[in-house]
Amino acid sequence: MEILGYFASLLIGLSLGLIGGGGSILTVPVLVYLFGVNPMLATAYSLFIVGASSLFGAFPKYKQGLVNLKTAIIFGIPSIASVFATRKFIVPLIPNEVFVLGDFMVTKSILMMVLFAILMVAASISMIRGKCEQCEKEKDENFIDEVQVFNYPMILLEGAVVGILTGLVGAGGGFLIIPALVMLSKLSMKQAIGTSLLIIAAKSLIGFTGDLGHQIIDWKLLLTVTGLAIVGIFLGDIVSKKIDSNKLKVGFGWFVLIMGVFILVQQLAFPIQ
């Protein structure tokens, strides 16, 4: 299982490099089911792995001029603040035994995994449907930059919501960030993907610092998985130039949907405490 886990760690980065997102949605299941990490600790590890991988993935995008720093700062500030606050203050306040439904005890770990499974299903639907019409308003090679007009209230709200979700379940939220950047910040798809990687990197890594002091970190495992994910993101960036990433996104979406449903059923029938 551990060998399979290391292979899956490559896939986390490969997905980020190929389609600009989705890798983070694999991280928690890989850590929980293949490495045997406690679900709560897995969400903390996921923040570091996703953050470091996205940071390395954002670098080549920045060199290609596909990272809009102004947008990253405006969207990133509420997102970073909310993810840090969630990990530092909200998550530690959630009781180990949340509530009881009949004979079924809903623990903190079960609640987090169920929330994560729901997020996986939502992400998979977004991937399977493909790019929305608003997101396909241009062909990237023929795109002419529009004058940016920021919808500040919506950007602040979206950034805060994404930050809270990231803080709770340890996922980067690229499937929420990319459409928001296109529709609210008027970026092209390629710019939105590059900018989202920088936002995900900043909020995930800063969010991880909120767990320091609350969790005992296995740095050997964490750095090994992170290193493999970083290798995967560079491989994905190379391969993405040779194959149709849209078809890959749909296929990956179905895989994530199956995984999300499996985790939901497994947690409700045979929960990992």
Give the three-class secondary structure for 22. coil
pLDDT interval class at 154 (50, 70, 90): confident
Which ranges of 95-188 does DSSP label H, i.e. alpha helix? 108-129, 152-169, 174-185
Give the pLDDT of residue 270.
Answer: 74
> What's the DSSP call for residue 67?
-
Quickly tell me which residue has 């023929």 as its tokens.
142
What integer is the mean pLDDT of 256-268? 87
Query: Left if phi > 0, otherwise alpha if psi is -120 to 50, otherwise beta: which for 225?
Result: alpha
CA dist., res. 49 & res. 35, Å (int) = 14
**Position 52 pLDDT exceeds 90:** yes
CA neighbor of 25 nearest in space, from 113, 130, 156? 113
The tens digit of pLDDT for each residue in 155-196 reads 888 888 888 888 887 776 777 787 778 777 778 777 888 898
Give the three-class secondary structure for 101. strand
CA dist., res. 260 & res. 123, Å (int) = 9
Least confident range from 92-96, 114-118, 137-141: namely 137-141
Average pLDDT score, the chain: 82
What integer is the mean pLDDT of 64-77? 90
pLDDT interval class at 141 (50, 70, 90): very low
> What's the DSSP call for residue 211?
T
**Position 145 pLDDT exceeds 70:** no
Give the three-class secondary structure for 172. coil
Give the pLDDT of residue 34.
Answer: 93
The pTM of the full predicted model, rounded to 2 decimals, is 0.80
**Position 223 pLDDT exceeds 90:** yes
> What's the DSSP call for residue 214?
T
pLDDT interval class at 109 (50, 70, 90): confident
CA neighbor of 272 nearest in space, from 32, 4, 27? 32
Q: Higher pLDDT residue, 63 or 237?
A: 63
Distances (CA, A) of 83 to 66, 124, 215: 25, 22, 16
pLDDT interval class at 19 (50, 70, 90): low
**Position 132 pLDDT exceeds 60:** no
Residue at 47: amino acid letter:
L
The tens digit of pLDDT for each residue in 194-212 reads 898 899 899 889 989 888 8
Give the pLDDT of residue 245.
Answer: 62
* 271: Cβ contacts below 8 Å, ≥ 6 apart: 107, 109, 110, 113
